[in-house]
Structure formats: structure tokens, C-alpha cells
């Protein structure tokens, strides 16, 4: 079996134009309005009664037909699968997978999944054809690997890190999160929320990086995401799945289909990524990642507020919002501290929190006073979050950069201690942050 109107695969691999395709990526993906002559040419090929409206749509339909013929064949040939892969990459005008990945991508399930890259907006016929091609893929899917691109406003470890089902990797000087997730459990945990798309393992990994004694590491989770069903990668061993998933992200980014959450598409960023030496903080990061209970809603929400406070702090004009998010993370940390001491976690109880802090830290009394000044009546949270009460009592929203840094340090310490029982090992940590002597 040969692909329709396809040049020899070796020519495709060298990037020679495929005359059967001849569609620029920008035209195909952006869905630009075609000329009348182009529309008539497409209708001539597919019939006057067809709903095909432009050459981009016709090209994608043609390629989907070719992929269908290959993956549904009862006698599949490795060369044909490779040819289909390279023709598809040529149509998308992205560099094909590197030599070490070709055999991994030349697989029926891979091609089914990659065919989604061929989608052209507002094409009902193409959407139905793609849905039919991928139907079996979705019905068998229960787990998935998520690849999330990280933003340039963050600060990242300069080396790869792995904590069970969560992995931080660097490819071509670009950082990614790779997480292995259960689709069923993630849906149940999120309550089908449309406003948050972080998985529990992503939150766990980001919290582990954020809670380093030195608070300079700040992951920025973007909306550039691609979810790969585990069934697509079943033919690979587990370590290789992660490398192939990262290569998927490169292809998706090149084809401009790595979805941007509620943005209509990924946003280009300028500048370079910033990396730092994380080696001396790896022990704390591994401890919190290994003991982080992803089934604990309070821990997940507290960690989310801490992570987002760092993301907001790096965004121009959102420093006050960053501090407000951090104060919510502080409240969550205190509630977990109360819970671990045998108390309730429905609201902050100053006497219980003070007792728990004194039991755990040398400066527990000082921490309790600071927390009360931030979360108590007339504190920073009331000033920032409850403006009407602030006006009635004459409070003025007033916070300094130093307030954010000190609160951020305290939240990191409390989270690390509640999850792991550890304190800061950083030699720069002063006596205020030492654990209580037994």
C-alpha cells in the first residue's frame, strides 16, 4: 500500500516540498480566507456538494484519508507508517522526530493521535473524520501523560528532577513538567472545574520546587499543554515514554496546536529562561514531593495559592494580588498545622495555632504574633480583601515588599514542616526558623 500522491519518503525527510500538499502552515492553521479560485479548486476536487471550503481543509481531509488507510490496514508495513509520519510533518511544516524517535512515532496509535494536529478550525466534516479515526483511542484511555511548558518569568533548577509520577525536564534550554495522571481521579478531584487545569502531580512538583529554603525558585505554569493518552505510548517502556512525550511537545509547539488554556492559543514569550543551582535544596524538595498527599484538598489548595503568589509577583502590576494569594496560603498552612496537632481545620483558632507553633519552633511565640497581625482583625488580609470593613474601621491597605518576602518565607517553612516534619537546613536561615529542641 502506498500513500496517495506521495513522493518517496527519503525526499520528505530531507524537507523537499510535497506537491500533493503545497499548503503553508500559516494558511492551514490560521484558517485564512482563501481566494475564490482556491475555493473553486477545492470544491472541484471534493465535489460541488461538499462542505469543504478551502484548500487547507481539503489538504487535511486528504491526509486523514491517507492515515486511515495506513493505520486500519490488516497488513501494516513499518515503511508505510514512517512515510505517513513524514508526510504529516511535511504538511505541518515542522521538523520530523529525531532519528532516535522515528521508530517510536511510526506506530498506528501515534499516528491516530498526531492526526489531531491536522485540524482546521470550523471544519465540521474534518472534525467528524478525525473523531472517527480517534474513537478507539479515546474509548480505551484511562490515564495520560501531560506535558506542560513553563514560562520565562519563572526561575528554575538547572538540572532535571523526578519524583515518582512527576518529572521536571529541560530540553533545548526549555523547562517542562511531565506528569503521569489518572483521567478518572483528576476529573473527580477537580469537580470538572473549567477554571483550573493543574493536575495533582503538577501541583505537588511545583510545591516541592517552591518550598526550597531559598525562595528564589519560582515555577510559572503556563497554559501550553498537551495531554497524551497512555494507550498511545503503550508500545514503549516507561523511561522512553517520557522522552517521547517531550518530543511530542516539540512537534505540537511547532504545529501551533499546544493548547493555551482560555487564551485561544499559546502566547509568544521574549527573553531567556533563568536557571539556578538547586543541588543544596534537593533533599527538602524530594522530602516534600515524596510525602505530599495528592488526595488532601487542603494541602492542594494551599500549595496552589503559594505557587500562584510567585507567578503573580513576577507579573507587572499584580504585586498586591500576589500578597493576597500568599495570605490565603498562610491561612491554609495554619489550618494544616492545627489539624496535625489534633485540632479542627475549619477556621483559624489563635490559641490552638499558637500552641502548635510553640511546640514546633523555637520562635513559635513570635510566629504566632506575626500570623495574628496578618490574618487577625485589622491585619493585612482584612485590609486587602475586605475593603468595606477597612473603610468602616479606618484601615488603609498598606503592604511593603518586605511583607511579601517574610510571609513567603514563613509559608514555605510551615508547608515544609507540616508535610515532612523538617525545618530549613539552609545555613542562611536565622534562629527564627529553627525547629524547637526536644
**209 vs 330, 412, 430, CA distance in Å?**
17, 10, 21
Give the integer Cα–Cα distance in Å for 427 and 30.
Answer: 53
Contact, 48 vs 80, CB < 8 A? Answer: no
DSSP 4: T
Task: Please give the pLDDT value at position 427.
Answer: 45
Domain ranges, ordered by start, for the chain: 9-139, 142-293, 296-438
Residue 148 host element (H or E):
strand 143-150
Directed axis angle between helix 364-375 and helix 401-420, to 10°?
120
Contact, 171 vs 147, CB < 8 A? Answer: no
- The answer for residues whose C-beta is within 8 angstroms of residue 391's C-beta and 6 or more apart is none
Give the integer Cα–Cα distance in Å for 67 and 283.
Answer: 48
Give the integer Cα–Cα distance in Å for 41 and 39.
Answer: 5
Task: Please give the pLDDT value at position 130.
Answer: 84
**88 vs 54, 75, 160, 239, 401, CA distance in Å?**
18, 21, 31, 26, 51
Task: Please give the pLDDT value at position 26.
Answer: 33
Cα-Cα-Cα-Cα torsion 356, 359, 364, 368, nearest 10 degrees, comes to 20
Task: Please give the pLDDT value at position 325.
Answer: 94
User: How much is the pTM?
Assistant: 0.79
Contact, 85 vs 9, CB < 8 A? Answer: no
Contact, 299 vs 414, CB < 8 A? Answer: no
Query: What 3-state DSSP class applies to 433?
Result: helix
Query: What 3-state DSSP class applies to 154?
Result: coil
Count of other CB atoms within 10 angstroms of residue 330? 27
- pLDDT by 10s per residue, the chain, length 438: 333 333 333 333 333 233 333 333 333 333 333 444 544 555 555 554 455 556 777 778 888 888 888 888 877 788 889 988 998 888 888 888 988 899 999 998 888 888 888 877 777 888 888 888 877 665 555 789 999 999 999 999 999 999 889 999 998 899 999 999 998 888 877 765 667 789 999 999 999 999 887 767 999 999 888 899 888 898 898 889 988 998 888 888 877 766 554 444 555 666 789 999 998 888 889 999 999 999 999 999 999 999 999 999 998 889 989 998 999 999 999 999 999 888 877 788 888 999 999 988 888 898 998 888 888 766 666 666 666 665 666 666 667 888 899 999 999 999 999 999 887 765 444 455 556 554
Closest CA to 90 of 5, 9, 31, 34: 9
Sign for the CA dihedral angle at 187, 326, 267, 262 comes to positive
Contact, 107 vs 71, CB < 8 A? Answer: no
Backbone angles phi, psi at 389, to 5 degrees: -65, -40
Strands 166-171 and 174-182: antiparallel
**What size, in residues, is the chain?**
438
Radius of gyration from C-alpha coordinates of the chain:
26
Amino acid at each position: 500500500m502506498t500513500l496517495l500522491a506521495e513522493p518517496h519518503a527519503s525526499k520528505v525527510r530531507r524537507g523537499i516540498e510535497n506537491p500533493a500538499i503545497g499548503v503553508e502552515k500559516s494558511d492551514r492553521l490560521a484558517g485564512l480566507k482563501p481566494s475564490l479560485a482556491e475555493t473553486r479548486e477545492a470544491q472541484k476536487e471534493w465535489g460541488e456538494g461538499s462542505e469543504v471550503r478551502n484548500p487547507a481543509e481539503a489538504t487535511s481531509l486528504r491526509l486523514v484519508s491517507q492515515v486511515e488507510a495506513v493505520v486500519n490496514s490488516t497488513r501494516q508495513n513499518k515503511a508505510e507508517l514512517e512515510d505517513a509520519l513524514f508526510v504529516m510533518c511535511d504538511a505541518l511544516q515542522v521538523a520530523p522526530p529525531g532519528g532516535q524517535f522515528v521508530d517510536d512515532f511510526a506506530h498506528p496509535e501515534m499516528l491516530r493521535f498526531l492526526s489531531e494536529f491536522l485540524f482546521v478550525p470550523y471544519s465540521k466534516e474534518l472534525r467528524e473524520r478525525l473523531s472517527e479515526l480517534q474513537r478507539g483511542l479515546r474509548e480505551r484511555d484511562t490515564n495520560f501523560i501531560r506535558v506542560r511548558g513553563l514560562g520565562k518569568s519563572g526561575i528554575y533548577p538547572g538540572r532535571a528532577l523526578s519524583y515518582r509520577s512527576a518529572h521536571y525536564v529541560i530540553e533545548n534550554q526549555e523547562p517542562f513538567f511531565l506528569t503521569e495522571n489518572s483521567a478518572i481521579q483528576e476529573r473527580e478531584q477537580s469537580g470538572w472545574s473549567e477554571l483550573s487545569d493543574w493536575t495533582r502531580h503538577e501541583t505537588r512538583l511545583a510545591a516541592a520546587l517552591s518550598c526550597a529554603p531559598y525562595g528564589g525558585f519560582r515555577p510559572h505554569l503556563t497554559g501550553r499543554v498537551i495531554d497524551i493518552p497512555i494507550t498511545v505510548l503503550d508500545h514503549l517502556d516507561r523511561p522512553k515514554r517520557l522522552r517521547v512525550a517531550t518530543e511530542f511537545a516539540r512537534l505540537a509547539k511547532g504545529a501551533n496546536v499546544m493548547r493555551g488554556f482560555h487564551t485561544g492559543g499559546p502566547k509568544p514569550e521574549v527573553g531567556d529562561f533563568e536557571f539556578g543551582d538547586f543541588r543544596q535544596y534537593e533533599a527538602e524538595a524530594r522530602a516534600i514531593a515524596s510525602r505530599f498527599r495528592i488526595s488532601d484538598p487542603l494541602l492542594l489548595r494551599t500549595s496552589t495559592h503559594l505557587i500562584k503568589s510567585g507567578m503573580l509577583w513576577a507579573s507587572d502590576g499584580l504585586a498586591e494580588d500576589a500578597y493576597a494569594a500568599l495570605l490565603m496560603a498562610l491561612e491554609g498552612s495554619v489550618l494544616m498545622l492545627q489539624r496535625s496537632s489534633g485540632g479542627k481545620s475549619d477556621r483559624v483558632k489563635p490559641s490552638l495555632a499558637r500552641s502548635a507553633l510553640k511546640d514546633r519552633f523555637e520562635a513559635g511565640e513570635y510566629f504566632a504574633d506575626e500570623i495574628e497581625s496578618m490574618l487577625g482583625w485589622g491585619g493585612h488580609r482584612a485590609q486587602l480583601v475586605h475593603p468595606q470593613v477597612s473603610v468602616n474601621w479606618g484601615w488603609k491597605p498598606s503592604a511593603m515588599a518586605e511583607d511579601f518576602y517574610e510571609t513567603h518565607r514563613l509559608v514555605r517553612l510551615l508547608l515544609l514542616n507540616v508535610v515532612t516534619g523538617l525545618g530549613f537546613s539552609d545555613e542562611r536561615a536565622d534562629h527564627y526558623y529553627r525547629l524547637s529542641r526536644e
